[in-house]
Amino acid sequence: MSRCNLRRLHSSPQCREQYFDANQQIFNRVALNEHAKDKIVLVDFYADWCNPCKLISPILEKLSGNSTIKAGSGRSLDLVTIDTDKEFELAQKYHIRSLPTVMAFKDGKPVDHFIGALDEISIKKFLERV
């Protein structure tokens, strides 16, 4: 499911998308294909039983939904969440061994990641790097 936040400071609205519990098809379309051009796509690999995942998810939702927060490259952010128990093959493909793992995709390729429940300030610093 996608949620779009609109901001009308310019003649065209800026749309940020959040895809919760995405499957591999949605992941491919959003993070790897044309949609990813001009954006940073954060992919949050999580599991329902993972307590640190429950701490970080609201922070990622807040930051990716805030139109004033951009990656260090100046690109806007989209968020995709992947339940590793449901999308095991996708987690294997990206060598997800610990949760939460958050990967940043730029131009359809992974460019950086972090593992563990970081606080909001640390996640903002991560975003400045990508």
Please name the residues in contact with 96: beta carbons below 8 A apart, sequence gap of 6 or more: 45, 84
DSSP string over the chain: -EEEE---SSSS---EEEETT--HHHHIIIIISGGGTTEEEEEEEE-TT-HHHHHHHHHHHHHHH-TT---TTS-EEEEEEEETTT-HHHHHHTT--SSSEEEEEETTEEEEEEES---HHHHHHHHHH-
Is 50 designated active site? yes
* Candidates 22, 53, 96, 117; catalytic one: 53
> Catalytic one among 43, 50, 77, 91?
50
Active site residue 4: no
Amino acid letter, 95 = H
Active site residues: 50, 53
